[in-house]
Structure formats: structure tokens, C-alpha cells
Chain A
Amino acid sequence: MCVCPGPRRIGIPVRSSSLPLFSDAMPGPTQLFFPLIRNCELSRIYGTACYCHHKHLCCSSPYLPQSRLRYTSHPAYATFCRPKDNWWQYTQGRRYASTPQKFYLTPPQVNSILKANEYSFKVPEFDGKNVSSVLGFDSNQLPANAPIEDRRSAATCLQTRGMLLGVFDGHAGCACSQAVSERLFYYIAVSLLPHETLLEIENAVESGRALLPILQWHKHPNDYFSKEASKLYFNSLRTYWQELIDLNTGESTDIDVKEALINAFKRLDNDISLEAQVGDPNSFLNYLVLRVAFSGATACVAHVDGVDLHVANTGDSRAMLGVQEEDGSWSAVTLSNDHNAQNERELERLKLEHPKNEAKSVVKQDRLLGLLMPFRAFGDVKFKWSIDLQKRVIESGPDQLNDNEYTKFIPPNYYTPPYLTAEPEVTYHRLRPQDKFLVLATDGLWETMHRQDVVRIVGEYLTGMHHQQPIAVGGYKVTLGQMHGLLTERRAKMSSVFEDQNAATHLIRHAVGNNEFGAVDHERLSKMLSLPEELARMYRDDITIIVVQFNSHVVGAYQNQE
């Protein structure tokens, strides 16, 4: 029942006298706070955190029976049995029972929090036929950081076929994840474009004609795009496609999606780094590009085109395929590898990329240079640039940057940068009719739920109705009471599914509210969601989920064609 504070993705040692105390009290790792938290605030947070944690531990079990007791002591028929002179006593008792001792969110309030960021997209059908292998997707996110550092993106490629979906988990602020969520799909789409289309677009820009649209975004109203940086971002993107045009040798080759994804990731990270080095005359933009470069983001992106599914992953978000076996049960197929200390191959890679004498320091306490949890990420120039470059950029940068403890701090044992890359690992999967859906989610989900549970919950949610066979009395002898019991049971099972119209919301409800039996516990859900902003992060991470549903008929038809 105990909820352990989730470890921060990135930690910085701070010289502070209260630190030992802090680490003693908290079960999590020592690196629990940002330079933004001043020492004086520390004790306050430490105090409340500890208090709350403690209370949570002890209130969760004794609290339940107590409240149960209160309700059972006043059954409805009590009013009929009690003599009239006891009425006063009764109302007193009632008042006692109805006085809330603790603030709880009601189910509608819980729902409005859970649903605030939910978004659904259905691929439109033409002539009653949906020819896309994607039926649509549900997405949602639940913040723990304030503001949330996760981002999500979804778009349809207009000049090539296919749909792009991605989740981005930011750290050290949301600047990098925001920039990647706005820009990465353009880089991918451009990488996928044939030479002639690139030429056409470049000519249109040159002659001031209207441009071909490249992407159709599917955005929640809360998913914003930066207006200020739009011009800057465009120029970088244009330079990229100009180079692609120049590089073209004339012989038209089939574009390899895997290569395009890798190029796009690397190119964008390169542009982020370059923009920060060059700076911008506009002071707002200058600060923005620096914040983007000094913060970091992981990315997990899926490209679906017919039966071809590519997943490009950088960092520790995960793509999970939901497969329905012939007996109707669900199994999970992982389509990405986490890039962190739990991945042997990544540890191996890092050790190979750096001299032998760094073998011990490059990963410490399961973190890159003892600091960073993901081993691959966008931005994070602190792990990419040389010390000289870092110092030069920070000194010439705006004051805000200089005042920031985090940016000024140079990682220990920093000898042979770069230590970090944005190069993704691309997994290819050919869709089969039994592949029903794909879950893309940031580690906030995966650290609270097992992948098998995730796939089962989504699978049962999506097929919910079909799974329950209708009841028929037939020739059996059934009493009304028995039937009633059976039906109520069935309805209870259904209602938790029907509460959500969005698979991602349903998953978040389970991730946050599941009790030890794997069922959603409203009280727990309510407690978790009413945590104050500054405490939420101790109990959970930002959660961002996209559930893509595949069209088995279309996938099946592809299969039959060949």
C-alpha cells in the first residue's frame, strides 16, 4: 500500500547541511531536488513530505474499516425503529457521520482531473470504409511535476503515407520536451519525403508560393506550439532539407524508414545544440534555445504505415504491442528497449565508447556519470559539449543562465564527451491481425504497472463489451433473485470500463488508483490526485500515454494480398 516517492530522473548533489537528514528520512535516492529549491525551502518540503508520507502509511489501513464502521452503524431502516424521542440523538449521530473529517475528491471531481487532458482521434472513414491500418488513438497525460514535463504528439504525414505518434519525457524542465514535441515529426516527415517533393517545397519557399502541407496534427487544446520560435525552427528545418536536396545523387532510391528516423533524431538534436551555440539576437529566443539545450528529453516515436510499424526510441519510454491470442487472452510484446542502467547492452555500449579508465565512473548508482537516469536523450548539452564550450556559452549567455546552479554545474568525471546521444534504436514490426493496439507511454506508467497488466487492462477495455457473452435462460431453472445477483455482478464489472471513454484515461485510472488486488480503489485514487503540487512528484511521475488501435480487417487484407 505504501507509495514510495519516485526517484527524480536527474539529480545534482547540493552542499547543504540538511541533506543527510533528508536522505535518511526518505526511502528514495538522495538526489531528490533541483537547484530551484533553495535551502530554506528544503526543510519545509522535507517536513511536509515526511509528515504526509507517514500519515499515508498509517491512515490507509486503519482508516478504511473506520469509515466502513460509520456507515454500517446507521442503516436506512433505523429511522423506522427508533422511537420519536430519540430523534434528536439520531440527528446528532447523523451529523457526526456526515461531517467529513478529511478532504476527499468526489468521483466526478476525480473524473474531471483524469479527463482534463484526454484526447481521442478517429481516422475518418470515407464511403463507410476505413482504409488506414490505424483505427484511431486515445491519449492522455496526468501531471506530477508543475508544470508537467511530459509531452505528446500525433500527426498524419500528408505527403507520404503513415501516421506518427510519440511521447516525450522531459527532465530539468519542459523546454526540451516541448521543442522536440513540436519539431521532431517535421524532421521525420522531411526525411521521408522523396527528392521531387523536397524540391517542390524548396521552390515554393524560394518563390513565395503556398507550401505543401507536410503534417496534419492531432492535438489536444492544451498541446501548444511556440509561436515565437516558429521562424527559427523553420529556418533550421529548411537548412536540413536543403542539405538533403544537395546530397541527392540523382538516382532515386527507396527511402528507408529506419534510416529516416535515425537521421531525423540525430539532426534535430544537432540543431538544438547548434542553435544554443549560435544564440539569437532576440533575448527571449536566446534564452529559450539555451533552456532547450540545457534541459533534456527522451522520445519514443511510432511510425505506422499499412502493416509496417517502426518504433524509434531514445531513452526510457516504452512502446508495447497488445496481442490477442486465439483464446482471447492478452500478451504484451515489447517493441523498444529502455536505455538505462537496467539494459546490459547500453552499459556495454557506454563502456566501449569511452576509455577503459572511465569504466567505473561513466555509470554510477545506475545513472550516467552518477546523475542521469536515461542513457540516451535529446538536449542535455551538459553531457555532450566539451567543458570549454559549456563555460563559454554560459558566460556569454543571459544572467538567468548564470544564476542557475544546475547549468553551471559540470558533471564529475567528465573527460571524454559526448557521453550522451539522441540516436534512437529503431525496431521494426510487421503488423498481424492479432496485433490489436500499441501503447506508447513514458516511464511514469511503466514504473507503476507491469507491462502485462497494461496490455490486459487496455485489451479488456477495448473489447469490453464483446467479451461478456449475453445471458440466456434457456431451459435452466433460474430464480429472479439468482438472475439479479448475476446481473449486478456483471454490471459492476462493466461500470469501471464505461466510466472512461478513453483507453489512456482508463489506464491512468488504474496506474494511479490500483490497490493490491489490481482493482481501482476510489479512496486511493482520490488521495493520489489531491496531493498538493509540490508533493505529487514524490509519489508518482508525469504519466503520458498514447493507445493506438489497429484495424484488424485492413491489416488482414494486407496479409491476404501477399
Chain B
Amino acid sequence: MPVFCQLCWSAIVDTDGRIYIRNWQGGILSGGFEKNPKPIFTEGKNQLEIQNLQEDWDHFEPLLSSLLRRMPQLETLEIMKLVNCPETFTPDMRCIMGESPSVQGYFVLAGMNSAGLSFGGGAGKYLAEWMMHGYPSENVWELDLKRFGALQSSRTFLRHRVMEVMPLLYDLKVPRWDFQTGRQLRTSPLYDRLDAQGARWMEKHGFERPKYFVPPDKDLLALEQSKTFYKPDWFDIVESEVKCCKEAVCVIDMSSFTKFEITSTGDQALEILQYLFSNDLDVPVGHIVHTGMLNEGGGYENDCSIARLSKRSFFMISPTDQQVHCWAWLKKHMPQDSNLLLEDVTWKYTALNLIGPRAVDVLSELSYAPMTPDHFPSLFCKEMSVGYANGIRVMSMTHTGEPGFMLYIPIEYALHVYNEVMSVGQKYGIRNAGYYALRSLRIEKFFAFWGQDLNTLTTPLECGRESWVKLEKGMDFIGRDALLQQKQNGVYKRFTMFILDDHDTDLDLWPWWGEPIYRNGQYVGKTTSSAYSYTLERHVCLGFVHNFSEDTGEEQVVTTDFINRGEYEIDIAGHRFQAKAKLYPVASLVTHKRRKDDVELSDLHGK
């Protein structure tokens, strides 16, 4: 196009029209991200060979239309060239970087989703640090190559997903949005049963997980209309699920969790685990230990629960998306020893989480064994029979702080156990629940989740988990030195819970994550997760509070006193809401008991 504009604007982006316009050698360069992309595989061809594909004007037509709508004067300009060259995209619109999990020392930085120009500098910096020091100076888990596994590399999956991802580039990205393509890849054996009962699904690492269950008489909004930053349409549904968890019993299918088994002929398993984990794992058989898998800096590489099945074997449960990362980390640190066996048993077990005060009744009726806290104290693991099925690993924990049990069921028994639990549970008011209910429960209890709140740069001491670290367990472990030092010097950030005071759930924008936290008017950090607590009837945000020096901006030690003696505000889209800061869970939630005069007739209905 001939020279017509001497202005040097950098770029105009018209997201509704899906186009960008920029100055280019005195003329205009305009392109965009169409709604109907055409995926191609480069088949190992040289980048230069595919740089110039056949021009496809029909495909460009919608973009041209919006360009001329935005700038009608351009009509008379002459066309110089239509450039049609492929860009690389990833299944979640974030680039991939980091060390390959299978080839040590092989680093990757690719899939820039057409933002290579703007992200190149930062990405290069972090990758360079990673290669030099073994880890980057910022948390880059969201971009880490190891968030994907072989399961996301099928060609059909990539074709379909990439066609969905690319148009999103100029779309409004709303919280809790689920991809629609490349779904139903990994499912629990109960998928059909749950789906028939109204389950709505989200996907993590290819695994379908129930979000919530839509009752038969309830209609939800259409997919497009459900996009919101305000109170979502599932609010009431999740409320009734949470209520059921508090008052009766709910069952949540949590099969997606990554499950490893570590066994050895001698004490090798215990030794390596003691070295890799911060808590003391030399506990009596049947105990469950919450512990972090730390790096040299004391930061969480993984946060998991480990059950000691026998003297020489351990069962390890970690978040879903840890499957590749945790495996790589363990493999990297485990000695080559044929007597030490690490096995990924994720696919072997279906996990059901029975949450609620009535879980005890359901289980004891199904197992003919007493399940009261006297017989089955918290954080215990026993193999027992449930219904006809034998060898079910029952664990007294729920990942939420509520009473209840996790059942790890060999998959062939899954349907049987589920059916038994549901039919016996009927008289206790059992119902299905999903991850949104779980999320609300765990956040109001101040439970941090790895991947959301915790990352490789946060240490147990920074989130009040001193009790899960045994510095004096009699042997060294990775990160111990860093933690010792931190214990001496104090922490520079502190995981804190905020309860929003003047926030109107119905009318105000909701906090989702990443909202700035202000202490006495000063910015001190960002939230990492948030949820509405149906018990407190308030929004709860979790996040890290820093102490930036007013003069230099340098980070200073954060003390309990510093946290407690501040007035806090959470900024949601420019509006600040007052918040109460807490370092420990709300007491009333932990010892929740219903008062006698609270009972009403509706409690007699099935939930």
C-alpha cells in the first residue's frame, strides 16, 4: 500500500473485528485471528518452506470486511500482498518452555501463540536462568513444558483444540472457562453414571472432572450466555452441594488425582522419600502424612499426601497436573536401584471422596466395621471391604478439612462401590457433588492447593505449614538448609486469608484470582484463589502478603504482627472492598455444630 500515514502508532487492535492494524514501511499492515482457522502440521518441514502458503482471499474476507468497517477510507488503497503464513499454537494458549521430562538437558521454548514478538524477551530471560541455575527466578509453571504429557500430543486432539484456541486470542476470556474441544479423553468409569445425573464437566490434564450437578428441574444458561465476571448461574447449585457436605454426605469423583506407588525390598523407599519430602515419613504403617516435595530453595515442587501402606511401600497422591512433573522430579532424584520401584498407578484407581458428617454412617454400614474417630482416627489409611468389593483403600481425609473419607477403589469395583454408596447413602441424604463445592469448602478452610496458591517459589513456612516440616527428623532433605535459614531470618511473604466485608455477591463483580491486595492503602500482593463461602456468607480470597519498604520498595520480613496490624482492601476491577485478614481458619468452621433450634422441616427432605 502506498505511503499514506506518517503517524507512528504502534498498533491498533480491534478485538470485535478480530484484526490488528499497524504501520509498516509507511503503509499499513493488517491481519487478524479469524474464527475459522485452518490447522496444518508442518510435518518436520523447514520453517522457511512453509513460510509462504498459497494466498486465500476467501478466508481473509471477514478480516478485510472488519478492516474496511473500522477504516472505510482504506477502500481506495491498492493491495500489495496477502501473506499467508502459519503460526504455532498450543492447546491452552500459553507457550511451552523448560526442560524435557525425558531427555535431561534438552530445553524447549516454542509455541508462542503468535505472541513471540512481545513475549520473546521475557521468555528468553527465564529460559536462560533455567539453563544456568536449574530454575527460573519467577514462577513459570503455567508455561512449563511438563504441564503437558504424551496424552496431549495426539494429532486429532491438537487439530481440534488449536482451532478452538486461536480464535480465543481476541475473545473475552472469562474465569472458569472450559475448552470445548478435545474433551472426554480420560474419564472415570463412573463418567456415564454421573453424566446421566446432570454432571457438568471441566477438564484437567485431559481428565474429565465434575464441576457440579444440575438438578433435573433446573436450566442453566447457554454456553455463550454463561460467560460472566459476576455471580455465575451455578451459584445455587453449588450452594446446595456445599450444604449437603456440611449437613449430610456428598460423594465427589476425584479419580483424576495423580497416584504413585513407591516400593522397595528394603528401606530404600523410606530413605529416598525422607530425602525428597520435608515431613517425617517414618510413621507407623497406616498413617497418612501431608508433605511438600521441595526444591533447594525450599519451594514447593509438589504438595502431596503420602500413605504408608506397609513398611516398604508408600502411596502418594498429588494434584492432577503433577503427573508428568512429579514423575520427572522423582526419576531425576531416585538412584538407579532395581530394588526400588516407582509406579504410576493413576489409572488403576477410581477415587471417591465421601464428604460430610454422615460419611461415617454410610461407610460403616457398607463395611460392617466401626468407622468412628476412635476406631478410625483422622489421617489414617486402611484396606477394607466396601460392599462386595475387597481391597478398597479407605483414607480418613477429604482434602477440604471436612470430616469424611477418600476411597481408592480398583477401577473394576468402581461402579459397584459407587452404586452401593449411593443406595445405602440415600437414607443419610447423600448426593453427588462436584469440584466447585470442594473448592468453596477448601478455600473457606484456608487450604492451599498446589498450582493455584503454591508454586516452586513458596515455602511451607510462608503458608503456615511449619507443622508439616520436620527439620529435625534425623536426616537431611532437599530444601532443609533454605528452610533453616528462613526460620532464622523470617519470611518475606505470608499466605493470608481475606474475608470480604462489604462485597455484594449479587451485584458486585466477583473476585476470581489475581486481584491486588492493599494494606493500609499500600499494594502488598495479589490473591491466588478465591471462593464464596456459603457458611460465612462472604467471599474468601487467599493470597500472599509482602512487606515492601516504603522508601526503597525492597522486600522486608513479614511478621504475624505485620499481618494482624493492617487494614486490608481487595481491589476487584478498580473497586476496593474491605477485607479481614486471617492467618488461621475461622474457628467456627472447624467445630461446626448445628444448634438444636436450627433444625427445620426441610432437613427431613432428601438433598
Contacts and interface: CB of A to CB of B under 8 A. Distances in A.
- Bound pair (A, B): yes
Contacts of A484: 61, 64-65, 68, 75
B24 interface: no
A366 B74 CA distance: 65
Nearest to B65: A484
B68 A478 contact: no
A480 interface: yes
29 contacts: A470-B55, A470-B56, A470-B57, A470-B58, A472-B57, A473-B81, A477-B78, A478-B78, A478-B79, A479-B75, A479-B77, A479-B78, A479-B79, A480-B64, A480-B68, A481-B75, A483-B79, A484-B68, A484-B75, A487-B57, A487-B60, A487-B61, A487-B64, A488-B61, A488-B65, A490-B58, A491-B58, A491-B61, A494-B58
A481 B76 contact: yes
Given A480-B77, A480-B78, A487-B61, 16 more contacts: A468-B58, A470-B57, A471-B55, A472-B54, A473-B81, A480-B79, A481-B75, A483-B64, A484-B65, A487-B57, A487-B58, A487-B60, A487-B64, A488-B61, A491-B58, A494-B58
Interface string A459-490: 00000000010111100011111011001101
A483 B56 CA distance: 12
Contacts of A470: 54-58
A471 B79 contact: no
Of A468, A472, A480, A483, the most chain B CB neighbours within 10 A belong to: A480
The 5 A-B pairs at the shortest CB distance, nearest first, are namely: A481-B75, A487-B61, A471-B57, A478-B79, A480-B74
B67 interface: yes
Interface string B59-92: 0110011011000001111110110000000000
A480 B57 contact: no
Contact of A471 (B58, B74, B75, B81): B58
Contact of A473 (B65, B67, B76, B79): B79
Interface of A: 468, 470-473, 477-481, 483-484, 487-488, 490-491, 494
A481 B74 CA distance: 8
A473 B55 contact: yes
Contacts of B64: 480, 483-484, 487
Contacts of A490: 58, 61
Nearest to A473: B79
A480 B77 CA distance: 6
A491 B57 CA distance: 11
B217 to A, nearest CB: 26
B20 to A, nearest CB: 16
A383 to B, nearest CB: 54
Interface of B: 54-58, 60-61, 64-65, 67-68, 74-79, 81-82
A477 B78 CA distance: 6
Nearest to B30: A480
Contacts, number: 57
A483 to B, nearest CB: 6
Contacts of A488: 61, 65
A368 to B, nearest CB: 54
A468 B60 CA distance: 15
A483 B65 contact: no
Contacts of A491: 58, 61
A478 B64 CA distance: 14
A481 B64 CA distance: 9
A151 B64 CA distance: 47
A473 B82 contact: yes
A477 B79 CA distance: 7
Contacts of A471: 55, 57-58
A146 B457 CA distance: 72
A485 to B, nearest CB: 9
B77 A483 contact: no
Given A483-B64, A488-B61, A472 B78 contact: no
A468 B77 CA distance: 26
A492 to B, nearest CB: 11
Contacts of B55: 470-473
Nearest to B60: A487
A481 B75 CA distance: 4
A487 B56 CA distance: 11
Contacts of B60: 487
Nearest to B55: A472
A323 to B, nearest CB: 28
Contacts of A479: 75-79
Contacts of A483: 57, 64, 79
A491 B59 CA distance: 10
A473 B81 CA distance: 7
B76 to A, nearest CB: 6
Contacts of B67: 480
Of B57, B76, B82, the most chain A CB neighbours within 10 A belong to: B57
Contacts of A473: 55, 57, 79, 81-82
Contacts of A480: 64, 67-68, 74-79
Contacts of B74: 480
Contacts of A481: 68, 75-76
A77 to B, nearest CB: 13
Contacts of A487: 57-58, 60-61, 64
Nearest to B71: A480
A477 B81 CA distance: 11
A136 B82 CA distance: 38
A470 B60 CA distance: 12
Contacts of B68: 480-481, 484
Contacts of A472: 54-55, 57
B28 to A, nearest CB: 10
A183 to B, nearest CB: 38
Contacts of B56: 470
Contacts of B81: 473
Nearest to B72: A481
Nearest to B1: A480
A487 B61 CA distance: 6
Of B55, B58, B60, the most chain A CB neighbours within 10 A belong to: B58
A207 B57 CA distance: 68
A483 B64 CA distance: 9
A227 to B, nearest CB: 28
A360 B81 CA distance: 76
Nearest to A481: B75
Nearest to B28: A480
A471 B55 CA distance: 8
Nearest to A483: B79
Contacts of A478: 78-79
A407 to B, nearest CB: 49
A471 to B, nearest CB: 4
A484 B58 CA distance: 10
Nearest to A491: B61
A490 B65 CA distance: 13
A403 to B, nearest CB: 47
A29 B134 CA distance: 92
A484 B81 CA distance: 14
Nearest to A477: B78
Nearest to A487: B61
B107 to A, nearest CB: 38
A131 B79 CA distance: 47
A12 B421 CA distance: 69
Contacts of B77: 479-480
A28 B525 CA distance: 83
A478 B76 CA distance: 9
A491 B65 CA distance: 12
Nearest to B67: A480
Nearest to A468: B58
B85 to A, nearest CB: 16
A481 B79 CA distance: 10
A483 B79 CA distance: 9
A136 B371 CA distance: 62
Contacts of B58: 468, 470-471, 487, 490-491, 494
Of A484, A491, A494, the most chain B CB neighbours within 10 A belong to: A484
A468 B59 CA distance: 13
Nearest to A486: B57
